[in-house]
Amino acid sequence: MPLNTPQDRRLWGGMVAVYLADQLSKLAVLRFIGPWDEREVIAGFFKLVHWGNTGAAWSLFTGNNGLLALVSVAALVVLYLTRERFEPRSLTGQVALGLIFGGILGNLTDRLRVGHVIDFLRFYLVRRGDGAEVGFPAFNVADSAICLGVALLLLRSLRQELKPRSGPALTGPI
């Protein structure tokens, strides 16, 4: 991985920061919260949990940990080889790719080390009447980083599309 320019160093530095934040937070979960245990932080809204996910987002493709690990490696390789397309010389591109690379590596490490992705952030509401929890699937730092990185790339792309383009001035009747 080249670190020849300040931009490269920022991209890879961001990746390492996300990866470390993800792995350190998951080590804390492994140490302090038992498997399938929960710790209520804000009653009726937020819990720290220790859930394993052998699938992808929202537990899609559950039970396919090995295949999803291969998909992660393929995604990293493709993103690395095509990173110039994402304008890594711009600050937004550097941050976005750092977030995505760090997030993919964090979840890939879980898949290889413990056989599933460790999810631990659970936001929910309690439904009136039956008291059932209705909420967002549990997620982790890596998931957040990937989503934020993709959102930054999409916003950057949208901004580029909405930019007025300069061209030759129109003259004469239309």
pTM of the model: 0.85
Of 8, 22, 110, 143, which one is the catalytic site residue?
143
Let me know if 119 is a catalytic residue. Answer: yes
Q: Which helix (H) or strand (E) holds 34?
A: none
Of 8, 37, 119, 130, which one is the catalytic site residue?
119
Let me know if 8 is a catalytic residue. Answer: no
Q: Is the dihedral of CA 70, 64, 117, 97 positive or negative?
A: positive
pLDDT tens track for 14-43: 999 999 999 999 999 999 999 999 999 999
Torsion of CA 114, 1, 147, 93, to 10 degrees: 170
Mean predicted lDDT score pLDDT of the chain:
88
Distances (CA, A) of 174 to 4, 52, 107, 168, 171: 51, 63, 56, 14, 8
The DSSP symbol for 174 reads: -
